[in-house]
Homo-oligomer: A and B are copies of this chain.
Amino acid sequence: MLYGGARMSTQRRLIAEVVTALPGAFTAEELHRAVAERAPGVGLATIYRALCAMQAAGTLSHVGERGGSALLALCGRHDHHHHLVCTSCASVVGVECPLSDAAFAPAVKQGHLITSHQIALYGLCASCRTSEGA
């Protein structure tokens, strides 16, 4: 259930299917185009509402930015982690948080307190790296 307890409509079912079928990270505009291919007439507002519902349900995450738009991706993980966005194929890989307490030691030593952080990682996923190396 991508939307949590929210009501399921035909549009939302379709949007969920398209989101699941997409290879990785996508913007709202890209999703709108992909949905429009299967059902022209679905409004952009509906896309944003569905994305909002999925984010609220915790099945969708904001993983970065592309061309000024929010980059989103399916992610069911609820533990603290970050996302590596492949700049080649747009796939998204969940990675453990690379920050340990030790990493903040210099800042803490200066008296600062770090309460939250946002990390966006960009690079190549394993398969793109393999095919590039070939």
> A interface vs B, CB < 8 Å?
64, 84, 87, 93, 95-96, 98-100, 103-104, 106-107, 110-127, 129-130
A30 to chain B, nearest CB (A): 21
A8 to chain B, nearest CB (A): 30
Do A112 and B123 have beta carbons less than 8 Å apart?
yes
A99 is contacted by which of B98, B115, B129 (Cβ under 8 Å)?
B98
What would 23 A/B residue contacts be, using CB atoms closer than 8 Å?
A64-B118, A84-B112, A87-B115, A93-B107, A93-B110, A95-B112, A96-B106, A98-B99, A98-B103, A98-B104, A100-B103, A107-B121, A111-B125, A111-B129, A112-B125, A112-B126, A115-B122, A115-B123, A115-B124, A116-B123, A117-B120, A117-B121, A118-B118
Bound complex: CA of A130 vs CA of B110, how far in Å? 12
Bound complex: CA of A120 vs CA of B99, how far in Å? 12
Do A84 and B111 have beta carbons less than 8 Å apart?
no
Do A113 and B123 have beta carbons less than 8 Å apart?
yes
Bound complex: CA of A129 vs CA of B109, how far in Å? 13
**Given A99-B98, A99-B99, do A114 and B121 touch, yes or no (CB 8 Å)?**
yes
**Residue picked from A99, A100, A106, A123, most chain B C-beta under 10 Å:** A123
Q: A64-B118, A116-B123, A117-B121 are in contact. List 17 more A-B contacts (CB 8 A).
A: A95-B107, A96-B106, A98-B103, A98-B107, A100-B103, A103-B103, A111-B126, A111-B129, A111-B130, A112-B124, A112-B129, A113-B123, A113-B129, A114-B121, A116-B122, A117-B120, A118-B118
